[in-house]
């Protein structure tokens, strides 16, 4: 390999800020902070907003889009009659 052109590929400690989950993997990410692992190693630290431990898709807390039928029915119950009545009145007025 040519010297000086490759990024620094090393072990990095990733920390999920939402729940404190930590994991170590190899990465080229640039960091300024250092963090300690559970086994005492001091590694470059990268802070994450979301990881597989906190993301709704992986935790099973994501709402399904299949609930759309209920939402549409709820909308028509709330607004459907008044909107349909206004449309009928406008048609009657235009016909006169």
The 10s digit of each residue's pLDDT in 15-60 is 998 888 999 999 999 999 999 999 999 999 999 988 878 777 767 7
Query: Please, which residues have CB within 8 angstroms of residue 44's CB and are 6 or more apart in sequence?
Result: 10, 12, 13, 29, 31, 33, 34, 35
Percent of the chain with pLDDT over 90: 35
Instruction: Report whether pLDDT(66) > 90.
Output: no
pTM: 0.58
Same domain, 52 and 94: no
Domain that holds residue 10: 1-62
Same domain, 10 and 48: yes
Same domain, 47 and 12: yes
Distance of CA 73 to the CA centre of its chain: 28
Same domain, 74 and 50: no
Q: How many helices (H) and strands (E) are present in the chain, helices listed first?
A: 3, 4
């Amino acid at each position: 390999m040519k010297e000086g052109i490759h990024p620094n590929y090393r072990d990095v400690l990733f920390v999920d800020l939402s729940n404190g989950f930590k994991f170590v993997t190899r990465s080229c990410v640039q960091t300024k902070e250092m963090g300690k692992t559970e086994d005492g190693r001091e590694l470059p630290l990268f802070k994450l907003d979301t990881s597989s431990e906190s993301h709704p898709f992986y935790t099973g807390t994501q709402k399904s889009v299949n609930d759309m039928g209920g939402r549409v029915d709820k909308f028509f119950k709330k607004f459907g009659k008044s909107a349909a009545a206004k449309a009928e009145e406008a048609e009657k007025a235009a016909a006169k």
